[in-house]
Structure 1
């Protein structure tokens, strides 16, 4: 028997499920682009342990990207994201913030924070140090020294997964895309 659950409740009660679903849908979109335009060059790997600030490793066109994935539903009020500083130690590290339609799960737009293919993550030195969301017994919220806060304005917006794929792996665009 299937129990009807309201959208807001479903998204909050099953947030880890939703996070994995959006990740798989996004990777599926990138694989589809690789299939259609890039001779199936995209390779995808997952870390066994998540302690270096990335969720997935993507490689194509001799460019390896360590990617931290974030997601928000369209219309969400969130305007910033926390980023682990260790991501800047990885080759071509980047953050991709995927927006999705709450009802259809259609993806887009996509927000990208990173550099050109083969270049390191832009410096996080000037970014604000994040604080814990919950205070201690006195209400003090300690800093999280390895986490920085990026504002939405720090990201580049792309309307399609195709544009994200090009930003990840090609400086001048995929030749076969026409």
Structure 2
């Protein structure tokens, strides 16, 4: 039986993050790259969830998830990613029945190049205050999913991340 994702969203995010890291780790390992490092952001106010260093390249990664076939058209991207040298945003599209990641979407540039401009479309809180107003979230921007590159599997994503 599938658990409601809104109640257990943090657990679901961790499951998908582990699947993402396993796929990247396997790709690097199978290519003979055994010296790589994964760092986790303890506090999520700098825009990234993970830092992966491999092949002399450092990637600050903001992970997002989406149910395969879901209709989400915009992705909230943290503007502090613009300050990082090789930041990117990765959407993991997953099957809700199996939690298997079916594909990825990538927004970023080559390793060593700053992330492209994320635009000026500010994000508002999903809940209104007592006056019925939704406050602006000043550090987030709505980025259309159409700006993201489709990537079919973790092997292809790994090559995209580290230019291998």
TM range (shorter): over 0.9
Q: Does 1:88 align with 2:118?
A: no
Q: CA RMSD in A?
A: 1.4
In the alignment, which residue of structure 2 is the partner of 1:131? 124
Q: Does 1:165 align with 2:125?
A: no
Q: Relative to structure 1, is the Cα distance of residues 48 and 15 closer, same or farther in structure 2, using a 3 angstrom cutoff?
A: closer
Is the 1:96–1:110 Cα contact (8 Å) retained in structure 2? yes
Q: Relative to structure 1, is the Cα distance of residues 10 and 135 closer, same or farther in structure 2, using a 3 angstrom cutoff?
A: closer
SS in 1 for 2:5: helix
Larger Rg: 1
The structure that is helix-richer by fraction is 1
In the alignment, which residue of structure 2 is the partner of 1:114? 108
- Shift in Å, 1:23: 0.3
Is the 2:81–2:88 Cα contact (8 Å) retained in structure 1? yes
- Shift in Å, 1:153: 0.2
CA distance in 2, matches of 1:158, 1:109: 6
Q: Which runs of 5+ in 2 are unaligned?
A: none
- Shift in Å, 1:105: 1.8
Is the 1:71–1:98 Cα contact (8 Å) retained in structure 2? yes
Corresponding pairs, count = 164
SS in 1 for 2:126: coil
Is the 1:108–1:161 Cα contact (8 Å) retained in structure 2? no
- Shift in Å, 1:71: 0.6
Is the 2:33–2:55 Cα contact (8 Å) retained in structure 1? no
Q: Which runs of 5+ in 1 are unaligned?
A: none
Q: Does 1:34 align with 2:28?
A: yes
TM-score, normalising length: structure 1: 0.87
TM-score, normalising length: structure 2: 0.94
CA distance in 2, matches of 1:139, 1:66: 36
